Chain A
Amino acid sequence: MMDIAAHASRRSDRYGLRDVVRSEWTKLASLRSSRWTLVAFALTGVTLGVAISAVSASLWPTASAETRAHWDPTNNTLAGLIPGYLVIPVLGVLMMTSEYTSGSARSTFAAVPRRPLVLAAKSIVFGGAVLATVEVITFVTFLAGQAVMGSAPHATIGQPGVLRALLLSGAFLVLMGLFGLGLGVIVRRSGAAVALYAAIALVAPMILSAFPGNLWRFGPIMILGNSVGAVRLLPGVLSPWVGFGVMTLYTVVSLAVGAVLLTQRDV
């Protein structure tokens, strides 16, 4: 009754992360929507980053002394990542919620009953795809953006802090995507999970800015725009590495809570 020959080809005696990663990669690569979202994000990101660089450089000749003192050409080109503040976490949310809304979660967990493995594999596959996309956007935008700066001071990759800002910004967006993935596991409904992300990343910092203590600087988008993606830091913001650490903490909490709930709840 069982096909013995088919079973002789087993690499090991139990399914593991490697198998689940291959499965999740097949899923991600076979969805046109996620592929086109990443491509559209890359195109708009590069266009936006170059446009913002050109516009801000055009203002350089008439800029105030204060503006010139805070001039950060690297940060200007990284404006190309702004659509990613929304796109990447939403894609992260959908990586998980689409399984629940479509019913494919049952198929997935039938194949992989150790459910946290699914979350780990999704993190690896999605994180890898986002990292590749975002780093391409970052470097293309940086090089093109600096080329259109005209008479304004340029940045080069060799300057202190520039390479850090470029690499870390891409990695930061990966963390935001994984944070969204965790929220998708916790909430399971696309709309509610996206709303929760917006509340945490967009609304909460605005509310916190009304309170003393610069609490707004702990908001993910604030960290990316002002700390991780900056070479010249404004007063009061977190340092890049502290900011990156804070986002790592958010992400770990989101995924860990997700993993626990994934194990405890019914599918």
Chain B
Amino acid sequence: MIQVLGVTKRYGRTTAVDDLTFEVDAGRVTGFLGPNGAGKSTTMRVIMGFDNVDAGHALVAGLRYRDLDWPLRIIGAHLDVKAFHPGRSAEDHLLALAAANAIDRSRVTTVLDLVGLTSVRDKRAGRFSTGMAQRLGIAAALLGDPGILLFDEPINGLDPEGIRWFRQLVRGLAAEGRTVLLSSHLISEMAVSADHLVVIGRGHLVAELSMAELMARAPRLVRVRTPEPERLTGLLRQAGMTVATQPDASLSVAGGTAEAIAARAAEHGIALHELAPEHASLEDLFMQLTDDEAQFRTGKPRSAGAPGSMNRRRAS
């Protein structure tokens, strides 16, 4: 388990993380979501003991990072794409890390195999592509067979096969009972990888909820195509539904099920060419969530407009 307790971290006059508190539980993948600059990486560095805090503290398995007996056997992290010397081979990089925590050499072979770098184990890691560097970082995180794992934007630079592999990997790690914290600025990635979400913006906690809860908040939309869109629109509005006409002349209907729409159309003899339930885009959902939560939490609108701010209004 990871506990972030009232952590505040400033860099000069910039407050990167502001009184942030949340917990990451074992046995599931927790997505750490927020736009660029929200404080995700800073929080992860604080958990790892790389950055000193201005207030609060972070605990890993109940201890501060610096008090861990064998850190790599407790927690593995892959925060930076390149956290190795370019002149050293992948194998030597891992052997040096293994030695520092008295991890058996056989683990180096195991994790190289696991991430698919066995064939380039003795090549200088400086020549690795971004995807291979990511795999080496993931291997280093898994080296000590730790019960807690941190990954910061791990799929950047991975090819589609690599992304699929990584998703299965983190799912498997969580299924084994491990604690997995996975950061991303892409909610679509979270939708496939994470069970639970910790959402932050501008260093504040915005929401903590399960992926299912987030999806439940999504407005249910039904996409309808018909040769008589004006007539159907009128009928559906009479029934209390909200109807928007899309650029391709299809209708996007909220506030009614596909069954209700079909019944209404049948009643009036209107032909339907398509009737498909769909979700609002995850990105829209994310923006809505962060807007609501930001207002709810502060009770007043924040000063608007910083790039990447989660509080910006959508033009509407």
Contact = CB atoms under 8 A, between A and B. Distances in A.
Given A2-B145, A110-B77, A22 B99 contact: yes
Contacts of A266: 45, 50-52
A17 to B, nearest CB: 11
B87 interface: yes
B104 interface: yes
Interface string A84-111: 0000000000000011001110111111
Contacts of A22: 99-100
A77 B73 CA distance: 52
Contact of A111 (B79, B92, B100, B107): B100
A87 to B, nearest CB: 17
A23 B72 CA distance: 13
B80 A106 contact: yes
Contact of B50 (A10, A112, A267): A267
A78 to B, nearest CB: 32
Interface string A125-159: 00000000000000000000000000000000000
B47 to A, nearest CB: 11
A1 interface: yes
A203 B68 CA distance: 45
Contacts of B96: 23-24, 26-27, 30
B93 interface: yes
A2 B140 contact: no
A108 B72 CA distance: 10
Interface in B236-252: none
A114 interface: yes
Instruction: Identify the interface centre among A11, A104, A108: most chain B CB within 10 Å of its CB.
Output: A104
A33 B147 CA distance: 36
B97 A107 contact: yes
Given A264-B52, A266-B51, A266-B52, A13 B69 contact: yes
Interface string B203-215: 0000000000000
B52 A19 contact: no
B101 A113 contact: no
Interface in B79-95: 79-80, 82-89, 92-93, 95
B22 interface: no
Contacts of A98: 85
Given A26-B95, A30-B96, A7 B73 contact: yes
Contacts of A265: 52
A20 B177 contact: no
Contact of A113 (B66, B93, B177): B66
Contact of B84 (A33, A103, A111): A103
Contacts of B86: 102
B177 A1 contact: yes
Contacts of B176: 1
B147 A111 contact: no
B102 A267 contact: no
B291 to A, nearest CB: 32
Nearest to A117: B100
A121 to B, nearest CB: 9
A1 B147 contact: yes
B100 A113 contact: no
B85 A19 contact: no
B69 A19 contact: no
Given A1-B177, A2-B73, 5 more contacts: A1-B147, A24-B96, A27-B96, A98-B85, A109-B50
